[in-house]
Structure 1
Amino acid sequence: MEWLIGRDGHVVDRPVQPGGHGSFPLHYVRTGPRGRLPVLVVPGGPGLASFLPYRGFRRAAVRRGLDVLMVEHRGVGLSRRDHGGRDLPVEAVTVANVVDDLAAVLDHAGVAQAVVYGSSYGTYLAQGFGVRHPARVAAMVLDSPILGVEGDLALNRAFRRRAFWDGGTPATRRVAEAVRNLIRAGVPAAEVGHVVQVAHEFAGPEALLRLLQARARGRAGRLWRGLARLGVEEVEGTGVPYLMEPDLVRDIAFRELGFGLPADGLPLDPQASLTGGGSWPAFKAEPFDLASALPGFDWPVVVLSGERDLRTPRPVAQRIVDLAPHGVLVPLADTGHSALDAHQRAAILVAGATVAGTTDRLPGLAPRIASLPRRGASRWLGVGIAAAVRAATLR
């Protein structure tokens, strides 16, 4: 894997368990000119790698003059195995250990403080880093953020049902009617809910409505089935080496972050698409009480929230802004989950403004930021879904 590590890759020796025997090589990559405040970018998951999926992002960030560090999450990709080539034990792959890995990387790189940019699950790590290592944080960008297990889930359920079951906004009224009709016609509610999330996020409400109407007419069956499984592999499967490897980090997802909390039996429950049932590790407790910690964050906290994001919807983002003393909301129109993956130019611009200390200007610039040309893997997935919906409805 020398080609993947390249000249920008670095290794820091880390204990498998704090105070225990044995260590493993934790890999990280650093790109861009030195001299400015570095940006520590923490992607989502858990299970998502850093080296391979974000090569294009780092090249674009270098062109903007950003000094970017990304850490290969322990238990994933280049940081998966110990020095003997054995997989790390799952009990060593915890949020607390990952957060301390981030601090060790800054130590190894000679970085006293950084802008910490977290996306999705990475926002939990970023905030946890702020709890455990506050002196190392100059500012924070929380892109499609997570705050707390049960509080987020309650907000998510209410948001989805208000929009896509009750039709609580003019933009979603017809979609909600189509959703209700499909479920009443016998299409499984869990399947409908997952397709609504995926199609709305990646392709938008108009494509979602056309897809729901086509499904009601007995069309678009293959596309529907594909969307009903999209993303589930990230939790249930073994993943793809050096891209997405969920197996060793599964305890973080379920034991610490409550990914497997039971569904409540009502329509449009985000928990209903997890089909593993009792096979998942049981939720124990969150490692941090972030809602209590946020009022003590004395640095700028920029919160990016996509208009089409149903995984970490706007009410969660707004709650974080309300709790953080220096929180600012940057709403991104026509954008789904994770600007880091769906709208990389927006992510880079916001990171650069945070480095420059101009975060107070970002809310007023949000429409211009959102309208920038789109880059990122999620962008192309959305284009593909929209094209497939058009093709299915023209037959």
Structure 2
Amino acid sequence: MTTELAESLRIMPGVRTTRRPVTPGGPAGFALSHVRADPMSTALPPILILPGGPGLASVLPYVGHRAIATARGLDVLMVEHRGVGLSRTDEHGQDLPPAALTVTQVVDDLAAVLDDLGIDRVVVYGCSYGTYLAQGLGVRHPHRIAGMVLDSPMLTAHDGRVQRAELRRHYLDGADPATAPAARLLRELVEAGRLNAAETGDVIQLVHEYGGPRLVRRLLERIAAGHGNRLWRWLHGLGNREISQNQPCVMEFDLVGAIAFRELGYAPEPDGRPLDVNLSFAKRAKDFPPFTGEPFDLPAELPGFDWPVAVLSGERDVRTPRVIAAQIADLVPDGILLPFNGIGHSILDSHPSAALLAAAAVAGGAHRRLPAMAGRFGSIPRPARSRALELMLHARLTLPW
């Protein structure tokens, strides 16, 4: 991170620090940054937002989200993940060591910030990897939870197997009539040696998420006609960028990748068939500790969650498929599933206004009304920046050749 960028962020309104031990039981050795968006006098509990990753920062990337929250009268808190951005280094300016980077320490950081700010209970909104942290907070500090929103949720370290099976059901087996034509094309192109099977998972997943079956079919038709190879190469490169190139104070995977591989099983087990997902993580696995086991048994813990839970799931999400979201909603005693049509992974990032409305409903005790309101969310405008890749793909793949 550049010193100038870090210093400018540290003096932003609402940014504070809490002293935390680098490792459990040690002295307070680093400053954990967090930001609260103009806390207001409101009867609703604060909303603690945990973004995805691991590696996504909170202070800089979500300035716009906090502005929307403030305009809606919501009290929003975000904690900069240890090992990332403003919470990356110890008091000597050295990067936090691998021993400092575990899920339980991150979860306990959240509780420590609530203590520091004098906040009793929160509605915790987790997105993707952040849903694992949210559920972990519920396991370790259940008395701090007033409600929970799990957006594009994780459940276990073996979710990748479900992800791969779901992607193959659509685009290899063609079990869905909407995806059967694209599945046939994909099989033909791989068998003919026109596509590298190892690249298909990242590319097809990405195009499906941002454009659905129609654009996947258009991409494969262009490849078959000899016109889409450059676009394919570009799309494949996008799948590696987040974990191979740090963006200071935005996305920093290089340290917290230890959590991804050691505790959450991000390294896939390729079988050599098409649509093997997350192979970009397999290339990075050698740089991090091997998988040793999960910190929590969430399927066993969820039936004990005694607070309202809204589970948000995008129709096109194959990174954290709908089947996982539905399982979580069924396991939680007071859980509901809120589907979003025409959206892929992460409602928080693709449709922030809808995400915050869902969080406000949970905070206000109205989460059971959300499924009946699902159709209305489609009419809420989405920010152009969240649709940039989607619009570009539509332009590239629907215009005449």
Report if TM-score (shorter chain) is over 0.5.
yes
State the AA in 2 paired with 1:82.
D
State the AA in 2 paired with 1:3.
S
* CA-CA distance at 1:39 after TM superposition: 0.2
- The corresponding residue for 1:68 is 76
Which secondary structure does the structure 1 equivalent of 2:370 belong to? helix
Alignment of 1:280-359 (within 5 A): 280=287, 281-359=289-367
Q: Which consecutive aligned stretches of 4+ in structure 1 deviate over 4 angstroms post-superposition?
A: none
* CA-CA distance at 1:273 after TM superposition: 4.1
Taking the aligned partners of 2:386 and 2:174, their CA distance within structure 1 comes to 27
Aligned in 2, Cα 1:359/1:143: closer, same or farther, shift over 3 Å?
same
State the AA in 1 paired with 2:275.
L
* CA-CA distance at 1:166 after TM superposition: 1.3
Corresponding position: 1:4 with 2:9: yes
Structure 2 gap ranges (5+) = 1-5
Taking the aligned partners of 1:165 and 1:371, their CA distance within structure 2 comes to 33
- The corresponding residue for 2:25 is 19
- The corresponding residue for 1:390 is 398
- The corresponding residue for 2:220 is 212
| 2:202 corresponds to which of 194, 214, 218 | 194
Which secondary structure does the structure 2 equivalent of 1:170 belong to? coil
- The corresponding residue for 1:99 is 107
Contact 2:160–2:268 (CA under 8 A) maintained in structure 1 = no
Contact 1:343–1:376 (CA under 8 A) maintained in structure 2 = no
- The corresponding residue for 1:262 is 269
| 2:374 corresponds to which of 366, 374, 392 | 366
Contact 1:191–1:273 (CA under 8 A) maintained in structure 2 = no
Alignment of 1:121-270 (within 5 A): 121-150=129-158, 152-186=159-193, 187-235=195-243, 237-270=244-277
Contact 2:261–2:285 (CA under 8 A) maintained in structure 1 = no
Contact 1:41–1:70 (CA under 8 A) maintained in structure 2 = yes
Q: How many residues align?
A: 391
Which secondary structure does the structure 1 equivalent of 2:77 belong to? strand
Contact 1:335–1:370 (CA under 8 A) maintained in structure 2 = no
- The corresponding residue for 2:3 is none
1:145-203 CA-to-partner distances (Å, cap 9, x unmatched) read 000012x2232222111111111112111121122122112111121221110011122
Contact 2:150–2:311 (CA under 8 A) maintained in structure 1 = yes
* CA-CA distance at 1:226 after TM superposition: 1.1
Aligned in 2, Cα 1:66/1:278: closer, same or farther, shift over 3 Å?
closer
Which secondary structure does the structure 2 equivalent of 1:37 belong to? coil
* CA-CA distance at 1:227 after TM superposition: 0.7
| TM-score, structure 1 normalization | 0.95
Contact 2:267–2:282 (CA under 8 A) maintained in structure 1 = no
| 2:120 corresponds to which of 112, 121, 136 | 112
Structure 1 gap ranges (5+) = none
Contact 1:202–1:378 (CA under 8 A) maintained in structure 2 = no
Which secondary structure does the structure 2 equivalent of 1:241 belong to? coil
1:192-217 CA-to-partner distances (Å, cap 9, x unmatched) read 22111001112222122111111111
Question: After the TM superposition, which of the residue ranges 198-207 and 134-143 deviates more from structure 2?
Answer: 198-207
Taking the aligned partners of 1:274 and 1:188, their CA distance within structure 2 comes to 17
* CA-CA distance at 1:61 after TM superposition: 1.1
Taking the aligned partners of 1:301 and 1:50, their CA distance within structure 2 comes to 23
Taking the aligned partners of 2:298 and 2:165, their CA distance within structure 1 comes to 21
1:299-344 CA-to-partner distances (Å, cap 9, x unmatched) read 1110000000010010110110111111100000000000111111
State the AA in 2 paired with 1:320.
I
| 1:82 corresponds to which of 66, 81, 90 | 90
What is the RMSD of the two structures over their aligned residues, measured on CA atoms?
Answer: 1.5
Which secondary structure does the structure 2 equivalent of 1:283 belong to? coil
Question: After the TM superposition, which of the residue ranges 247-256 and 186-195 deviates more from structure 2?
Answer: 186-195
* CA-CA distance at 1:376 after TM superposition: 6.8
State the AA in 1 paired with 2:114.
L
1:247-272 CA-to-partner distances (Å, cap 9, x unmatched) read 11011011111111311333212143
* CA-CA distance at 1:377 after TM superposition: 4.3
Taking the aligned partners of 1:249 and 1:274, their CA distance within structure 2 comes to 13
1:119-144 CA-to-partner distances (Å, cap 9, x unmatched) read 00000000000000000000000000
| Percent of residue pairs bearing the same amino acid type | 53
Taking the aligned partners of 1:370 and 1:97, their CA distance within structure 2 comes to 38
Which secondary structure does the structure 2 equivalent of 1:193 belong to? helix
Which secondary structure does the structure 2 equivalent of 1:321 belong to? helix
State the AA in 2 paired with 1:4.
L
Taking the aligned partners of 1:241 and 1:362, their CA distance within structure 2 comes to 36
| 1:30 corresponds to which of 36, 40, 51 | 36
Aligned in 2, Cα 1:92/1:390: closer, same or farther, shift over 3 Å?
same
Taking the aligned partners of 2:230 and 2:386, their CA distance within structure 1 comes to 20
* CA-CA distance at 1:42 after TM superposition: 0.1
1:31-56 CA-to-partner distances (Å, cap 9, x unmatched) read 14243310000000000000111111
Aligned in 2, Cα 1:371/1:172: closer, same or farther, shift over 3 Å?
farther
Which secondary structure does the structure 1 equivalent of 2:239 belong to? coil
* CA-CA distance at 1:276 after TM superposition: 1.3
* CA-CA distance at 1:277 after TM superposition: 6.6
